[in-house]
Chains A and B, each alone.
Chain A
Amino acid sequence: MTATPVRAPRTGRERTRPQQRSRPARATRWRRIITPLLVVVLWEGASRAGILPPDKLSAPSDVLAAGWRLAADGTLWHNLLDSLVRAVIGLAIGGGLGLALGSVAGLLRLGDDLVDPPVQMARMLPHLGLVPLLLIWVGIGEPLKISLVALGAFFPVYLNTYGGIRGIDERLVEAARTCGLSAAARLRHVVLPGALPSLFLGLRLAFGAGWLSLVVGEQVNADSGLGFMMMEAREFAQTDVVVLGLLIYALLGLLSDLALRTAEGRALAWRRGLEAS
C-alpha cells in the first residue's frame, strides 16, 4: 500500500484502514463498469445522431443485431467453428513442440547446446513477418493459418518450459535424491511441479499469440473463419459484422484465459499458502 508515516496512534484513522483495503473488492467494484458503459452509450448516441456514419462504424445495437442475424442463419457458427479448429490444431502443434523441445533443452546439457541457440535466434524473427515466406511455402490454404498459430504458440511455450525447468531449485532436487528418488521419480515429483507455474504462464502467452496469429492468417486469405467473415463484410462496408468479429475474437481470448486461470488455480493450490505468507 502507500507509505503511511508512523505517527502517534489516531484511532479513527486506524479503524478505517482495513475497511478501505477491502472495499474495492466488493462495494466499489461497480464503479469499474461506469466508463465502459459510458463509452457504449456515447457511441450509440453518436451513431443515432448521425455523427458516426454507419459505413465507418456501426452502432452497438446494429452490431448486436448483426450477431443475432448471423447466428440465426448459421454463418456465425460455421465460421467460428473453422476458426476454433485452426486455433486448437495450431496450439496443439506449436505448444506440443515447444513443450518437447523446451524440456529437451532444459533437462539435457546436450539438448541445451543443440536446441537452444537456434531457437533463441529464431525467436528474434517476428513470426507474423513470415507470412510472405509461408505463402510461398505452404500456399494460402489451411496449412498457412495453422502454421501461423503454431509459430505464435511455440515460442512462449518453449521459453517458459526451458526457463521453468532451469529455474528449479537444485537443492530440492538434491533433497529428493537423498530421499531415494530415481531420476524418473525426481522428474515427476520435483521438476514437473516445479516448472508448472512457468508452464502455465507460457500457455497463457501462447493462447494470446495464437489468437493474434489466427486473426492475421484469416485476414490474409481464407474462405471461412471469423477473419474471412470480417474481410468479406468489409467489401460490402458492413461495419457491424466487422465489429462483431472483433468482439468475438476478444471474447474467445477472454474465455480461454479464464479457463486457463481456473486450471492454474486448481493445479497450483500450494501457492496460495506461499502468497499469504
Chain B
Amino acid sequence: MAARPRSELNPATTAPDVAPDLTAADLAVVTARGITRAFGDTTVLDGVDLRIRRGEVVALLGASGSGKSTLLRVLAGLDSGADGEVRTSGRTAVVFQEHRLLPWKRVADNIALGLRGPDLARRTSAALAGVGLADRGRAWPAELSGGQAQRVALARALVREPDILLLDEPFAALDALNRLRMQALFFRLRGEHDFAALLVTHDVNEALLLADRLLVLEDGRIAEDTPVPLPHPRTQDDPGFGALRRHLLTRLRVPLVPDRS
C-alpha cells in the first residue's frame, strides 16, 4: 500500500529474509526497513527495522524522547520527512494519546468519519457498543469523560476494521483504574477483531499484559526484541511476569527499587 521505494537498503540485514522466509514475509502487515528521521542536526531514528506479523501485538518501549512517537507517525504515513521503506498491507488505523475527536461532530459522526457504505449506522453503533458506549452516539465529544472519549477514539479506529492498529500511549492520560479497564477492553477487542497492533507505551506492566513481543527503541534503533511467552489472559502475578518485568526495567535503565537520591 504505502510503499516508498528505498534506494540504499542495507543488504546485510535484509538479504537473509528474502528467499527462505517468504511465508513470514507474506504474513507481515507492516514491514519497515532503514527508517531514518532527523530534526535539524539531531537524528532521532537511525535505521529502524521492524516487522509486525498479522494479528501480532507488539509493544514499543523506550525512554522519553527516544523517538517512539516519531516512528509511529512514520509508520502511519503522517511524516513525509522520513527516509526508509515502509510497507503496510491492509488497512491502518491510529489511536493517539489524546482522543482527537472533532469537537463539532457528535460521537457517532466522529466514528463514521470518512467511512462510506449502506450499513454505516449499524457499523457505527456496533463499534460504540463494542467499547461500552452504546447510548452515547448523540453526545458531543465535550460531554464525555476522558476515559469515554478515549474509548470513542478506539471505536473510531476499530470501525475501520484495521489490519494494523497503531497506538501511541493510548491510555497514558487516564487514571490508574481507567487504564486497567482500557487494557482489559483492548484485550477483549483484540480477541474479537484479530488486528495486529503496535502499542507505544511507557508502562512496562501494560506491555507485558498485552503484547506478544516487546521492542525497545534506543539510540534511534530497535535495541531489543523480546517475545513474551506468557499465556493469555495474563495477570501481574503470573510466574515469569516478574522476571520479564525486571529484565525490561533494567534494559530501560529504571532502578528496580526506589532510591533516595
At the interface with chain A, which of B102-110, B129-137, B172-180, B202-210?
A: B102-110
A270 to B141, CA, bound (A): 9
Give every chain A residue within 8 A of B94 (Cβ-Cβ): 175, 178
Taking a contact as CB atoms under 8 Å apart, the answer to whether A177 and B156 are in contact is no
Beyond A177-B78, A179-B160, A270-B142, whether A172 also contacts B92 by CB under 8 A is no
Question: Whole-angstrom distance from the CB of A274 to the nearest CB of chain B?
Answer: 4
Give every chain A residue within 8 A of B103 (Cβ-Cβ): 270-271, 274
Taking a contact as CB atoms under 8 Å apart, the answer to whether A181 and B142 are in contact is no
Taking a contact as CB atoms under 8 Å apart, the answer to whether A174 and B160 are in contact is no
Is B140 at the interface (CB under 8 A from chain A)?
yes
Taking a contact as CB atoms under 8 Å apart, the answer to whether A193 and B142 are in contact is no
Is B231 at the interface (CB under 8 A from chain A)?
no
Taking a contact as CB atoms under 8 Å apart, the answer to whether A273 and B142 are in contact is yes
User: What band does the interface of chain A fall in when counting residues whose beta carbon is under 8 Å from B?
Assistant: 20 to 34
Is A277 at the interface (CB under 8 A from chain B)?
yes
Taking a contact as CB atoms under 8 Å apart, the answer to whether A277 and B114 are in contact is no
Taking a contact as CB atoms under 8 Å apart, the answer to whether B114 and A180 are in contact is yes
Taking a contact as CB atoms under 8 Å apart, the answer to whether B156 and A277 are in contact is no
Q: List the B residue with the shortest CB-CB distance to A192.
A: B104
Mask: chain A, 186-203; 1 = CB below 8 Å from B; 0 = not: 000110011010000000
Is A185 at the interface (CB under 8 A from chain B)?
yes
- Tell me the residues in window 232-277 of chain A with beta carbons closer than 8 Å to chain B beta carbons: 268, 270-271, 273-274, 276-277
Taking a contact as CB atoms under 8 Å apart, the answer to whether B140 and A176 are in contact is no
Give every chain B residue within 8 A of A190 (Cβ-Cβ): 102
Question: Whole-angstrom distance from the CB of A184 to the nearest CB of chain B?
Answer: 12
A30 to B103, CA, bound (A): 37
User: What band does the interface of chain B fall in when counting residues whose beta carbon is under 8 Å from A?
Assistant: 20 to 34
Give every chain B residue within 8 A of A179 (Cβ-Cβ): 113-114, 156, 160
Question: Whole-angstrom distance from the CB of A216 to the nearest CB of chain B?
Answer: 38
**Which one of B93, B100, B114, B160 contacts A172 once the chains associate, using CB atoms below 8 Å?**
B100
Is B189 at the interface (CB under 8 A from chain A)?
no
Is A171 at the interface (CB under 8 A from chain B)?
yes
Is B186 at the interface (CB under 8 A from chain A)?
no
A270 to B102, CA, bound (A): 10
Give every chain B residue within 8 A of A274 (Cβ-Cβ): 103, 140, 142
**Which one of A176, A180, A270 contacts B104 once the chains associate, using CB atoms below 8 Å?**
A270
Give every chain A residue within 8 A of B115 (Cβ-Cβ): 180
Taking a contact as CB atoms under 8 Å apart, the answer to whether A273 and B114 are in contact is no
Question: Whole-angstrom distance from the CB of B225 to the nearest CB of chain A?
Answer: 26
Of B94, B104, B139, the most chain A CB neighbours within 10 A belong to B104
Taking a contact as CB atoms under 8 Å apart, the answer to whether A181 and B96 are in contact is no
Give every chain A residue within 8 A of B93 (Cβ-Cβ): 178
Mask: chain B, 123-155; 1 = CB below 8 Å from A; 0 = not: 000000000000000011111000000000000
Give every chain A residue within 8 A of B76 (Cβ-Cβ): 178
Question: Whole-angstrom distance from the CB of B178 to the nearest CB of chain A?
Answer: 18
Give every chain B residue within 8 A of A172 (Cβ-Cβ): 100, 102
Give every chain B residue within 8 A of A189 (Cβ-Cβ): 102, 105, 113
Give every chain B residue within 8 A of A176 (Cβ-Cβ): 102, 113-114
Question: Whole-angstrom distance from the CB of B147 to the nearest CB of chain A?
Answer: 15
Give every chain B residue within 8 A of A193 (Cβ-Cβ): 102, 104-105
Beyond A179-B156, A270-B142, whether A194 also contacts B104 by CB under 8 A is yes
Mask: chain B, 73-112; 1 = CB below 8 Å from A; 0 = not: 0001010000000000000111010101011111000000
Taking a contact as CB atoms under 8 Å apart, the answer to whether A277 and B143 are in contact is yes
**Which one of A181, A271, A276 contacts B113 once the chains associate, using CB atoms below 8 Å?**
A181
Q: Could you give 11 example pairs across A and B, Cβ below 8 Å?
A: A172-B100, A178-B76, A179-B156, A193-B102, A268-B104, A270-B105, A273-B140, A273-B142, A273-B143, A276-B142, A277-B142
Q: A176-B102, A181-B113 are in contact. List 7 more A-B contacts (CB 8 A).
A: A174-B78, A178-B76, A189-B105, A190-B102, A270-B142, A271-B103, A274-B103
Which of A's residues lie within 8 Å of B, judged by CB?
Answer: 171-172, 174-181, 185, 189-190, 193-194, 196, 268, 270-271, 273-274, 276-277
* Complex A-B, nearest 4 residue pairs according to Cβ-Cβ distance, in ascending order: A175-B100, A273-B142, A273-B140, A179-B114
